Amino acid sequence: MTNQDKEKLSGASKRMSLLFVIIFFALAVLIFRLSFVQLSQGERFLASAETNRYIELSIPAPRGSIYDRDKVELVGNKPAFTITYQILSGVGQNPMDLIGELHQIFEMTPEEMYEKMDPQAEKYGRTIARKIISDAKPQQVAYVREHANELPGINVVVEPIRSYRFNNSGSHVLGYLNNIDEEEWPSYKEKGYQQNEIVGWAGVEKQYEEYLHGQNGKLKVEVNRNYQPMQDKRTEDPVKGHDLILTLDKDLQAATEQALKDQVQALKGSVSTVEHAAAIAMNPKTGEILSMASYPDFDPNMYIKGFSTKEYNEQILPGIMNRAIQQVYQPGSTVKMSTVLIGLKEGMIYPGSGLYDSGAIQVGWTIDGKPNMIASWQALGYVDPVKALAVSSNVYMIDIFKRLGKYNDYMSNAEVSTFLDSYLPASMKKILAYHSEFGLGKVKTGVDLPYEEKGSVTEEKNAGDLAFSAIGQSEHYTLMQLAQYVSTIANDGKRMEPHIVSEIIGPDNKSVKKFQPKMLNKISFTDEQIDLVQRGMRDVIAQPYGTFYSVLHDFRYPVAAKTGTAETGRGTENSLFVGYAPYDNPEVAIAIIIPDNKKNSHSYDSVGPIAHKMFDTYFKLKEQKQLTP
């Protein structure tokens, strides 16, 4: 070996040694780094790996149940299969392919299914599972499970769903559930709701949402590469919502609803304008609502199962409004008790004040200079305050308010100016202030239901305001207001706050809150004045000339009442009834309306069968199970 060869070999050996040192150093650094990661950050990376393998889901808490006063369950929960859609990342998922394959199986249009899936995350966050079908059919569940590997993001989960045991019965009081409205989502988010939850939208479901909702649980679910569940591990159990005990009686509620339906259908055969009716029964001494019905009604279960636009328009929309609290009506002659009370209080009449009702009374003049006459329903002869109520004399009532407003038909121009500028507005203000004591007008009754409307009054700024206010033609009041009004008279002037819920029961079956009777105010009339109008109401039933004598004069309990008809301005009349029984110790007060009845109809024909059915059912139930508290 030459020296030159030895030098080449020595150089190569040095380079190999340097390379070995470099490789050794690199391996040492790598081992050190792996050791550091394993020892100091292993738990963090393990958690990250677990996160990649698991997803955390919210377990819906069963909502609290709703019972009637006898602890009969009206609304509960049942286990059901829900089909959901989850947006996936890094997975071959084509929403349109899923829609094309499933929409017929799911019995939806492609547009309906796309809206529920929200694949572009326009409504919900990307991580939230969308509910496509609640209470899915067995064949739908079977299809999804059999084709799980072909349907990335489509899952079947078991969850409690709402069940309205008696379908349409009590639907307006109970309410219904629906998705969280976009505008309300921020407030629900602050309360810890998931965006895809359903919440109360009406009735006690909405009014008592915070109690009924419950506390959702948490579930860790191991998933495969398609984000479909393999096995789960519960980390936090859900807590059921609070139960509600209502003041309603299931049987009286059903009888009230059936009576409304039967009578509307009977009238509709000859009166095409009759489409709706509403009725309320309440305890005048406690404010407990015993029944509240609005016809037509709807089935809240449809909001759980889902519905088409056609089904909504035909089966839900006509009956979605609770006409007992959300609609205002001219009350007609049912306000005449307040007219008499105001007349007594203001000294316009006295218990023995009499007047001859010739069938009409003049209120000003027509444009062509003729007397403007407002009629009673017929010439009623001599009437005093009690008989004027029994026979429903318009003449007597209008005369009271004409004198209250210092109006006569032969005033000079100066006197007319004084009347219009001073006496008329002051008198109307006084009348409406008195009405508000009963809960009538621009006040709310306090009933524990959402969307309660206030009343209103139409004023034309002329003498007609006084006349029409005296007989219930210018006012627009809810049926709930009229029920509270007649209850106040029945309860000797004490106005009670109406309520639907009597008790709230916690998840541990312990009472959280009991609602006690609450008096809102005592009307500013003497006991003697109230007694006089009570006697007039009794004679509506007890005297042969009373306007409701033919319906209830022989009823086994003494009833006091007032009927009413009010012109609507649409060529129709509202038929009304308010009353209570027993007369000497009231237990139940009732208010009924059938809007848009034919002109010149009689309340004893139209609302009579409903009133009789409600009183009869109440007292039969009382005898069977002691309905009163």
One-letter amino acid at 383 equals: V
* Paired strand residues for 289: 282
Q: What is the pLDDT of residue 161?
A: 87
385 contacts 485 by C-beta, under 8 angstroms: no
Q: What is the pTM of this model?
A: 0.85
Which one, of 168, 156, 100, lies nearest residue 132 by Cα? 156
In three-state secondary structure terms, 275 is: coil
Q: What is the pLDDT of residue 31?
A: 60
Using 50, 70 and 90 to split pLDDT, how confident is the model at 179? confident
The stretch 459-474 carries a mean pLDDT of 94
Using 50, 70 and 90 to split pLDDT, how confident is the model at 11? low
Indicate whether 101 pLDDT > 90. no
Strand residues in 51-191 grouped as ranges (E): 54-59, 66-67, 73-85, 130-133, 154-164, 177-179
Q: What is the pLDDT of residue 629?
A: 47
Q: What is the pLDDT of residue 14?
A: 57
Using 50, 70 and 90 to split pLDDT, how confident is the model at 50? very low
Using 50, 70 and 90 to split pLDDT, how confident is the model at 126? confident
Q: What is the pLDDT of residue 569?
A: 84
214-244 per-position pLDDT tens digit: 888 877 766 665 555 566 566 778 899 999 9
Higher pLDDT, 469 or 182: 469
- Give 300-365 as a 3 state SS string: CHHHHHCCCHHHHHHHHHHHCCCCCCCCCECCHHHHHHHHHHHHHHCCCCCCCCCEEECCEEEEEE
Q: What is the pLDDT of residue 142?
A: 92
Indicate whether 172 pLDDT > 90. yes
Which one, of 207, 202, 255, lies nearest residue 447 by Cα? 207
CA distance 452 to 366: 39
Which one, of 193, 92, 100, 189, lies nearest residue 149 by Cα? 92
Indicate whether 129 pLDDT > 70. yes
All residues at 6 or more sequence positions from 628 whose CB lies less than 8 Å from its CB, including other chains: 283, 587, 622
Q: How many CB atoms are located within 10 Å of the residue 439 CB?
A: 29
Q: What is the pLDDT of residue 367?
A: 86
Indicate whether 1 pLDDT > 70. no
Indicate whether 48 pLDDT > 50. no
- Beta pairing class for 519-522 and 511-514: unpaired
CA distance 293 to 301: 18
With pLDDT > 70 as the criterion, what percentage of the chain qualifies?
Answer: 87
Which of 6-10, 75-79, 431-435, 477-481 has the least mean pLDDT? 6-10
Q: What is the pLDDT of residue 275?
A: 95
Using 50, 70 and 90 to split pLDDT, how confident is the model at 51? very low
Which one, of 9, 624, 605, lies nearest residue 270 by Cα? 605
Running DSSP on this structure, what letter comes out for residue 283? Answer: -
532-564 per-position pLDDT tens digit: 999 999 999 999 999 999 999 999 999 999 999
Q: CA 531 → CA 111, 332, 527, 577, distances in Å?
A: 64, 22, 6, 20
91 contacts 225 by C-beta, under 8 angstroms: yes
> How high does pLDDT run on average in the chain?
88
The stretch 514-523 carries a mean pLDDT of 97
The stretch 589-611 carries a mean pLDDT of 92
Q: Which residues of 457-474 are buried (b: 16+ CB within 10 A; e: fewer)?
A: beeeeebbbbbbbbbbbb
The stretch 611-616 carries a mean pLDDT of 97
CA distance 564 to 471: 9
All residues at 6 or more sequence positions from 518 whose CB lies less than 8 Å from its CB, including other chains: 287, 446, 496, 497, 499
Using 50, 70 and 90 to split pLDDT, how confident is the model at 49? very low
Angle at 273 between CA 272 and CA 274, to 5 degrees: 95
Helices 424-437 and 394-404: crossing angle in degrees, nearest 10, is 120
Q: What does the CA dihedral 266, 268, 269, 272 come to, rounded to 10 degrees?
A: 170
Q: What is the pLDDT of residue 36?
A: 53
In three-state secondary structure terms, 199 is: strand
All residues at 6 or more sequence positions from 261 whose CB lies less than 8 Å from its CB, including other chains: 295, 296
All residues at 6 or more sequence positions from 547 whose CB lies less than 8 Å from its CB, including other chains: 390, 391, 392, 540, 563, 602, 603, 604
Give long-range contacts, CB 8 A cutoff, 24+ apart: 345-349. Answer: 345/434, 345/524, 345/525, 345/529, 346/404, 346/430, 348/400, 348/403, 348/404, 349/385, 349/400
Using 50, 70 and 90 to split pLDDT, how confident is the model at 306? confident
Indicate whether 390 pLDDT > 90. yes
Higher pLDDT, 601 or 324: 324
The stretch 236-262 carries a mean pLDDT of 95
